[in-house]
Amino acid sequence: MMRHFLQIDGHSTEELCHILDTAESFTSVDDRAVKKVPLLRGKTIVNLFFEPSTRTRTTFELAAKRLSADVLNINIATSATTKGESLLDTLFNLEAMNSDMFIVRHPESGAAEFMSNYVAPHVSIINAGDGRHAHPTQAMLDMFTIRKYAKDFSKIKVAIVGDILHSRVARSQIEALNLLGAREVRVIAPRTLLPANISQLGVEVFQTCKEGLRDVDVIIMLRLQKERMQGGFLPSEHEYFQLYGLTSERLAFAKPDAIVMHPGPINRGVEISSEVADGPQSVILQQVEYGIAVRMAILSIAMGSHDKSDRDI
Amino acid sequence: MTELNAQQLTENLAKDLKSYISEHKIVDPIFIGIQTGGVWIANQLQALLENKDKLGVLDITFYRDDFSRVGIQPTVKPSKLPLSVDNKHIILIDDVLHTGRTIRAALNEIFDYGRPASVTLVVLVQRNGKELPIQPDVVAKTLTLEVTQHIKLRGPNPLELEIIDQK
């Protein structure tokens, strides 16, 4: 089973479904007087964030607390400790405090996997976003949201719009959608914001919204990552909105009941208009809400697995 | 081996439960079944007692005391209890009472929904092997089995009890 959760790639369809089904059960925890289950009582989970984050960190923290685990939040400035050795030192020190799980966000691709190679056998690593590589828990909460609204993956067309090149979210979403058997996965982006290997990812590539959004069931907008835009990928934010921003007019190309998603934080007027972001087809805030249940599922499945492997030794 | 007619036992259980409820003057009880066998029995008891309320359903996976040994099971289903159990009389229903650990977990979960006025434990079959001080209030059949024997309820239609020997 899965002791670590580092990326979508390498997991089976069954494992992804198991996560989604377990998350479904956790959604009922919110309905009750005590919004907690005792599953991870006595476990220590460390949120280890080398990059700023609000939504991801807080929903992981809430997820861990609703599972009755103790949570430690550690934010380390982006500039410090990006070299391998100091990263491991940080890790070993925290491990010495008998932590059971690390939730890691890091600006370098592969950081979470690197750490997973060095932690003790009773410790899990969950990737909360590493460089441009992967953000698997975000992808899973997106899949959960899609399944809530669209039900059957084999019938839906999904368009991912925007900065695919820099997006770890898009990469994980594409892998998850393909594993879960989505009928069609499209990406819509200017050529400068597409990775070179895009054709190998199992997607249809479109350069314009008019063609790409036609008859889709799900639209996923990506954030224009201003902090990663020094290389002259785009003439201007204004021009980007003119060509790729999701407006009511463009939304009309999709199916009438299409849902609009965004991993957040949204740049209003850059990749999405306020009218659409706050409109009836937007499920952006539901994504945040479902994020808690999905992360509860991933934390408990991972924790349950490593204890089991301990017993088998 | 003893003939076990699950259908007949469930009917007897319904009769006994009916007199238990009137004897103890329980008003407006809430029926709660434990997944999966307990839910089947609870559905039948509600039908036999002509109780049309929505059945509460408990999945105790998140409250099990062996999580660290078995992890999360793929079969976990959501618990669905009435919005408030505060000051309500609960009829908690399961198929087999063995160690008592499931009931311990179920009680803990119910108390996370509120503070019920009372909990009555109803089981189809009680067997030996108790590990916790938990007794049923209403029970249709008490069995003594070998350590290697397990009793399993199949269902929901029809309900069948089977004793499996793992010698």
Q: Got the DSSP string for A190-222?
A: -GGGS-TTGGGGS-EEES-HHHHTTT-SEEEE-
Question: What mean pLDDT comes out for the span A101-130?
Answer: 95
Give yes or no: residues A201 and A256 share one domain.
yes
Domain-embedded: residue A213: yes
Give yes or no: residues A153 and A277 share one domain.
yes
Probe site for chain B from A18, A24, A39 (most B CB atoms < 10 A): A39
Q: Please give the Cα distance from A189 to B158 (Å, whole number).
A: 57
Predicted confidence band of residue A313 (pLDDT cuts 50, 70, 90): very low
Q: Output the average pLDDT for chain A.
A: 91
Closest CA to A307 of A99, A122, A126: A122
Within an 8 Å CB–CB cutoff, is residue A33 touching chain B? Answer: yes
- Residue A58: give the domain boundaries: 13-134+288-304
Domain-embedded: residue A202: yes
- Long-range own/partner contacts, residues B148-155 (CB < 8 A, 24 or more apart): B151/B96, B151/B125, B151/B127, B152/B96, B153/B6, B153/B37, B153/B40, B153/B41, B153/B95, B153/B96, B153/B124, B155/B6, B155/B37, B155/B40
How far does the CA of residue A140 sit from the closest CA of chain B (Å)? Answer: 17
Instruction: Scan for tokens 């996997």, then name that residue.
Output: A113
Closest CA to B123 of B146, B94, B90, B92: B94
Cβ neighbours of residue A232 closer than 8 Å, sequence gap 6 or more: none
Q: Please give the Cα distance from B117 to A72 (Å, whole number).
A: 38
Provide the token pair at A309.
Answer: 């492997």
Considering only CB atoms, B69 lies closest to which of A26, A28, A308, namely: A308
Give yes or no: residues A253 and A128 share one domain.
no
Give yes or no: residues A140 and A278 share one domain.
yes
Number of domains into which chain A is organized: 2
pLDDT score at A306:
66
Domain-embedded: residue A1: no
Domain-embedded: residue A7: no
pLDDT tens string A259-301: 999 999 999 999 999 999 999 999 999 999 999 999 999 999 9
pLDDT tens string A236-270: 888 889 999 999 999 999 999 999 999 999 999 99
Kindly report the backbone phi and psi dihedral angles of residue B145, in degrees, each rounded to the nearest multiple of 5, phi listed first.
-120, 160
Write out chain A residues lying below 8 Å of B63, CB-based: 37-39
A80 pLDDT above the threshold of 80: no
Domain-embedded: residue A261: yes
Give yes or no: residues A140 and A276 share one domain.
yes
Closest CA to A40 of A95, A101, A119: A101
Residues A174, A165, A290, CA angle at the centre, nearest 5°?
45
Probe site for chain A from B68, B73, B110 (most A CB atoms < 10 A): B68
Domain-embedded: residue A201: yes
Provide the token pair at B109.
Answer: 């979960």
Yes or no, beta carbons of B113 and A33 under 8 Å apart:
yes
H/E segment holding residue A184: strand A184-188
Give yes or no: residues A51 and A72 share one domain.
yes
Helix residue ranges, H only, A27-120? 55-66, 84-95, 111-116
Write out chain B residues lying below 8 Å of A27, CB-based: 78
Yes or no, beta carbons of B108 and A38 under 8 Å apart:
yes
Provide the token pair at B121.
Answer: 């434990």
Report the residue of chain B nearest A43, measured CA to CA: B68
Give yes or no: residues A193 and A214 share one domain.
yes
Q: Residue A155 maps to which CATH number?
A: 3.40.50.1370
Residue B75 · residue B52 · CB < 8 Å:
no
Domain-embedded: residue A8: no
> pTM value?
0.88
Give yes or no: residues A112 and A187 share one domain.
no
A136 pLDDT above the threshold of 90: yes
Give yes or no: residues A263 and A183 share one domain.
yes
Quick one: A122 exposed, middle or buried, by C-beta within 10 A (0-12, 13-18, 19+)?
middle
How remote is the C-alpha of A58 from its chain's centroid?
A: 14
Considering only CB atoms, B62 lies closest to which of A37, A305, A308, namely: A37
Provide the token pair at A40.
Answer: 């991870």
Predicted confidence band of residue B144 (pLDDT cuts 50, 70, 90): very high
Within an 8 Å CB–CB cutoff, is residue A1 touching chain B? Answer: yes
Domain-embedded: residue A44: yes
Q: Please give the Cα distance from A70 to A269 (Å, whole number).
A: 40
Residues A217, A221, A223, CA angle at the centre, nearest 5°?
170
Question: What mean pLDDT comes out for the span A134-157?
Answer: 96
Probe site for chain B from A300, A305, A310 (most B CB atoms < 10 A): A300
Closest CA to A267 of A231, A227, A302: A227
Q: Please give the Cα distance from A147 to B12 (Å, whole number).
A: 43
How remote is the C-alpha of A263 from its chain's centroid?
A: 7
Helix, strand, coil in percent for chain B, rounding step 5:
30, 30, 45
Give yes or no: residues A235 and A295 share one domain.
no
pLDDT tens string A202-214: 999 999 999 999 9
Interface confidence, given as ipTM, is 0.77
Q: Is the peptide bond before A265 cis (omega within 30 degrees of 0)?
A: yes
The DSSP code sequence of B63-104 is G-TTHHHH---TT----B--S--TTPEEEEEEEEESSSHHHH
Residue A55 · residue A7 · CB < 8 Å:
no
Which range is most confident: A71-80, A115-124, A228-237?
A115-124
Give yes or no: residues A65 and A78 share one domain.
yes
Give yes or no: residues A64 and A140 share one domain.
no
DSSP conformational letter for A227 = G
Straight-line distance from the first to the last Cα atom of chain A, in angstroms, rounded to the nearest whole number: 15
Helix, strand, coil in percent for chain A, rounding step 5:
45, 15, 40
Q: Please give the Cα distance from A144 to A149 (Å, whole number).
A: 9
Considering only CB atoms, A24 lies closest to which of B78, B109, B111, namely: B78
